Amino acid sequence: MIKSDNINICYLSGTIISDIEFNFFFNSKKLISRAMFVLKTEEGFCNSNSAKPVQLLIRAYDEMADFIYRELYNGDKVVLQAFLEGNKVILENILKIGKQHNILTTYL
C-alpha cells in the first residue's frame, strides 16, 4: 500500500461517475493491484475559488483497490482522503454515504 509521507493531503466529496477499473501488476515488487474511478466533486462552498464541480481520476492501490472494487459502484456518493503525487490523486481513506443513516461503509 502506498502511504503519503508529505503534506499534499486533500479531502474531497462527490459522486463516482465511472465504472471501477481494476488491474493487477505482474512484475512489480511494491504494488499488487490498482483500482481507478472518476470522481465528480460537489459544487464549491461560498468562499471556494472554484464553485463548479471538477472531474478527477482517483487511484487506489492494493488493499484499498480491492475494497474499492468490491464495495463501490458508479453513482455512489463518497467522501475521501487522498494525497497528491505529481498530477495523480492517490486514495488513502474513503467513506461511502448511504441513503439511510448517512454512513454506509468506511475503510480505515
The count of domains in the chain is 1
Tell me if 2 is assigned to some domain.
no
How far apart are the C-alpha atoms of 90 and 49, rounded to whole Å?
A: 22
pLDDT at 98: 77
Tell me if 32 is assigned to some domain.
yes
pLDDT at 86: 87
Phi, psi of 63 (to 5 degrees): -60, -40
Question: In which residue ranges of the chain is pLDDT below 50?
Answer: 1, 101-104
pLDDT at 52: 84
CATH number of 102's domain: 2.40.50.140
Tell me if 65 is assigned to some domain.
yes
Q: What is the pLDDT of residues 23-32, one digit of tens each?
A: 998 887 788 9
> CB under 8 Å, gap of 24 or more: what pairs does 65-68 form?
65/22, 65/33, 65/34, 65/35, 66/33, 66/35, 67/94, 67/107, 68/20, 68/35, 68/37, 68/94
The helix or strand, by DSSP H or E, that contains position 65, with its residue range, turns out to be helix 62-71
Q: How far is CA 77 from CA 14, 27, 41, 42, 97, in A?
A: 6, 34, 10, 10, 5
Structural domain range at position 35: 9-45+52-107
Tell me if 4 is assigned to some domain.
no
